[in-house]
A and B are shown apart, each in its own frame.
Chain A
């Protein structure tokens, strides 16, 4: 297949999978998730932090730490939850057999599905940072804004790779929505969003580094503290490698389960 043909499949897959989510995620719900959920999730953990501050069990810096972590994590709702749910809705809406019957090359078809969610995730982060600054007093005065934008873009991109990985794996199961919920929430535990990764028990810390978000949250905090792009480049490189491996693994799952589904004739019920 020509490069141009692959690009066409990639672009159409990106647009259609994003538009298709509005078949179930009505625009008001989309806006609700963007405006209310990101605020209430951030507020919940910030107030838990303030509880510690008010009883002299933590310093006030914990507020900014939590707010920044939750602002970056907001992109998971788009790049993980929504991307995994593409598989769910292909099953529910009966479009999976049609998708698998097309002669389109699977790699652009598969990877394109997540692309619009990358930009949607970046919008979520921007809204969350507005809450962090205007409601919870996070100071972006020292931030290297260019570095922060690059960090958010790369985190969204690599996390969509992680979403594709779980989506590819969930392809084999009847209700991928369950995976979408589990994997969106456990990121809050493992990725240093509300507390440093070092606070986790030692064996769990290893798991943290399989999620690109762990690197992204750390890099965002450094960029807000004033670190330049070159200073955080090593962290970003590690994140890109993890994200790339996620996409390759996800694609392998997708292809393997497609093969199983074709062989067993259980495309939607695998």
Chain B
């Protein structure tokens, strides 16, 4: 196995083992999406139209985002608490690859959140979950998951430098639920929020997911949304690689890794 993949796999495996050792830690970052979906479904109960789809897919999206942001923030914070961050940075492996392995692992848990929300919506709220284009739906979800993970990588790189990672983790969760229009069209947001919405990969991802779920014939817009999301995701990965290198160099030079 190439070295990079081996590092990513090892980080992925360690994150899985940590989760299995203390699974209750997943509760804090999945409770909000479940509760928000429940509330939206209750509010939409009497409404006519595709509101159930908005609530359920939005809730799933929020589950992915909550998990990824949590993993990005706390991946670094936990290393600081346990005193292992210096060792990880000192290894010859690239920090980006280690964090990427963890992000993929957490994104995978995020996917399970989404599936759990879909199941609860179908079984408890009897929301019809017929998906018009199942293959495109799965395709859009996987790409959105990767886009969310890539966004998490950018945050993780910044979190290395700060001791306030927890602040950002808590502070960014809800605003992104709002800005990405996870449960309502972003057209409802004030116009000055729109640019922030458009630079978020998940904004395009959730639109593509909704489209694949509700429209049997794939419109051109689906591929446009997927294309824009992919472009944004590549930019995220490039930015994350650049930031990790900068942050790592700065931390080594200043000797302020743990005190940051």
Contacts and interface: CB of A to CB of B under 8 A. Distances in A.
Nearest to B32: A185
B92 interface: no
Interface string A17-57: 00000001010110011001100110111011111101101
Interface in B172-191: 174-175, 177-178, 183-185, 188-189
State the majority secondary structure of interface residues on B.
helix
Contacts of A33: 170-171
A55 B184 contact: no
A186 B39 CA distance: 10
Contact of B49 (A32, A55, A182, A188): A55
B175 A40 contact: yes
A181 interface: yes
A175 interface: yes
Contacts of B170: 29, 32-33, 37
Contacts, number: 100
Contacts of A37: 170-171, 174
A57 B175 contact: no
Contacts of B42: 189, 194-195, 199-200
B3 interface: no
B2 interface: no
A28 B164 CA distance: 8
B164 A57 contact: no
Contact of B43 (A24, A48, A177): A48
Interface of A: 24, 26, 28-29, 32-33, 36-37, 40-41, 43-45, 47-52, 54-55, 57-58, 175, 177-178, 181-182, 185-186, 188-189, 194-195, 199-200
15 contacts: A32-B167, A47-B189, A51-B183, A52-B47, A55-B49, A57-B47, A57-B51, A58-B47, A185-B32, A189-B38, A189-B39, A195-B39, A195-B42, A199-B42, A200-B42
